[in-house]
Structures are given as C-alpha cells and as structure tokens.
Chains A and B, each alone.
Chain A
C-alpha cells in the first residue's frame, strides 16, 4: 500500500494568497483527519471526516480555513486568504473502523507551509 499521500510537500506563498493542500487517504479507510503541527501548539486536529462527511470541524481556526472531501479518495484543505501565522506543517491521516471501533490513524508525510 502506498500509504497516505499528500501534496505538495512544501509550499511557500505570500500573505493574502490562496493555498490548497491535497490528501489521498489509504484505500478502504473511512475516516480522514487534517492536523496542524507547530512548535508552540504541537499537533492539533483541525477537522475530520467519516465516509466523506465532515464530523467535527471545531479545530478549524477561523473562516479562512475550509476542507472538503468530494469522494473517498481525495480531500483538500484550503486557506484563503493565507496569513504568516498559518505557517506550519499540515498532516493528513486516515483510519479504518471495524465493528464500530476506531482503528489507529496512519499519517501522511505532511505539507510544510510557509506564508511570507
């Protein structure tokens, strides 16, 4: 299995620009998670989906952030407009479930975002 795939791996943009991060989860997994990691705040959950439906977006910092999952094999996290404080590493993770129980999450390699 190829694992969770994220693109781009690195993104440098200027303040005010739109940024789109992409994620392909592991085939067969029905949960998808978006996290942000910074030195100050560690690893924080932004939003997660179950069967392509957003379940909990309470971690999304503000309206500038939005996430979609149009199908089981693709998700995007969009920041518009971007600000320097959005600079961080963004991870996508996926997991399966069995018998109503949640299994471990598998993380992608991350996208390092720098907003100048």
Chain B
C-alpha cells in the first residue's frame, strides 16, 4: 500500500534557526513527489515537484531534496512568515493524477 509519513508532526524554531522536515514514502513506483504549504484557513499552495533520486529544487529559503525512500525540505534562516503546515504528497506510476498526502508538519517560527 502506498504510504507517506512526515516528521516531526510539529516543529518550533527561532527566527534564523535552520532545520529540516522529513517525508518518508512507500510507493510501488514513484512518478513524482510534491511539497505544498498550507496556511490556516486556506488551501494547499504548491511549492515543488521532484521526480528522481538526487534531484534538488530551491525557492527562497526552502530547498527540497529526494532519495529513493524519503524527501527533505530544508529551511535556511527561517522567518516568521514561513510559519505554516508543510505537506508532502506522492504520485504513483499507473495511478493517474492521484496524490497521496502525508499528515503534514506544522512549522512555527518565532521572532
């Protein structure tokens, strides 16, 4: 069964304190791994898609990496506006456009 597990469930950082969020996945054949950001009361907002092990993508203070079993979302020198829930999702080959989401990591960055 395809499965996505994110850790930690919640993470509190001080402004400027870099850290990483983890997304472990089990899928029969990975087509793509997606990272989304979700602010309270809003829909998920697309951040990155990773397709193969070794791939990396960056956007401002965020960098996403991918291995054959997990993905990391590295946050460098975070700011309070980075506070949100970060969701990871996988898309399996042969499953059409279906995404399987993890439970998310709730990030709080204090000034």
- Chain A residues at the B interface, C-beta cutoff of 8 Å: 4, 31, 33, 42-45, 48, 50, 55-56, 91, 93, 95, 97, 102, 104-110
B96 touching A105 by the CB < 8 A rule? no
| 6 closest cross-chain pairs (CB), A and B | A107-B43, A43-B101, A102-B97, A104-B46, A42-B103, A107-B44
A31 touching B42 by the CB < 8 A rule? no
User: Residue-by-residue, is B27-65 near A (CB-CB < 8 Å gives 1, otherwise 0)?
Assistant: 000011010100000111110010000000000000000
Closest CB-CB distance, B57 to chain A, in whole Å? Answer: 12
B43 touching A108 by the CB < 8 A rule? yes
A-B contact pairs, 10 of them (CB 8 A): A33-B99, A42-B101, A45-B99, A50-B97, A56-B98, A97-B97, A102-B31, A105-B46, A109-B42, A109-B43
Query: Number of A-B pairs whose CB atoms are under 8 Å?
Result: 53
Closest CB-CB distance, A85 to chain B, in whole Å? Answer: 19
Q: Which residues of A contact B100 (CB under 8 A)?
A: 45
**Interface size band for B:** 20 to 34
Q: Is B104 an interface residue (CB 8 A)?
A: yes
Q: Which residues of A contact B101 (CB under 8 A)?
A: 42-44
Measured in the bound complex, the distance between the Cα atoms of B90 and A102 in whole Å is 12
Measured in the bound complex, the distance between the Cα atoms of B98 and A102 in whole Å is 10
Q: Select B97's contact among A33, A91, A108, beta carbons within 8 Å.
A: A33
A110 touching B96 by the CB < 8 A rule? no
Q: Select B44's contact among A31, A43, A56, beta carbons within 8 Å.
A: A43
